[in-house]
Amino acid sequence: MAFPTYTQTYHKESYPAISPTRPELSTAGKVVFITGGGSGIGPRIAHAFATAGSTEISILGRTASSLFDTKKEIEAAHAGTKVHTSVADILDASAVEAAFAGVEKEFGKKVDICVSNAGYLPDNETIADGDIDEWFKGM
């Protein structure tokens, strides 16, 4: 049995209606914070915000090298854009709080836009057999 199709058209590239170059979608002057910003779709999200005018972007992730690579790419491709990096696991609340504080210290203002891109997947168990606290971490 196949899952139902929720849309008739699947896009693999940006299209005009959602283009970050549209003036009405500008994020100029906004501080953007992206979890999972060093890998997967995180770097693409960061590039889209830079294209939309954000010059102060913070990316958070678990791997310093991928965050640094993303930082270099964005700053090279988008003149005047500054990328702040924070190494943290989203399950570590104090590390995430420290990352937000670091953004405010770095840019002198609070986060305007937060993209919760990182996720946590608990063990694959039935609800009856699984740990409820572990299940809620995934939420």
pLDDT of residue 52: 97
Q: pTM, whole model, 2 decimals? A: 0.84
Which amino acid is residue 64, in one-letter code?
A
Q: Is 79 exposed, middle or buried (0-12, 13-18, 19+ CB in 10 A)?
A: exposed
pLDDT tens for each residue of 34-44: 999 999 999 99
Q: Is 126 exposed, middle or buried (0-12, 13-18, 19+ CB in 10 A)?
A: exposed
What would the mean pLDDT of 101-110 be, rounded to a whole number?
Answer: 97
pLDDT surpasses 80 at 1: no
Distance of CA 17 to the CA centre of its chain: 21
pLDDT tens for each residue of 3-56: 788 888 888 887 888 899 999 999 999 999 999 999 999 999 999 999 999 999
pLDDT of residue 11: 82
pLDDT of residue 122: 77
pLDDT tens for each residue of 49-102: 999 999 999 999 999 999 999 999 999 999 999 999 999 999 899 999 999 999
What whole-number distance in Å separates Cα of residue 99 and Cα of residue 136? 23
Q: Which residue has the higher pLDDT, 130 or 114?
A: 114
Domains and their CATH numbers in the chain:
24-137 (3.40.50.720)
pLDDT of residue 89: 93
What whole-number distance in Å separates Cα of residue 94 and Cα of residue 18? 35
Q: Which of 32, 66, 62, 29 is nearest to 47 (CA)?
A: 32
What would the mean pLDDT of 124-130 be, rounded to a whole number?
Answer: 81
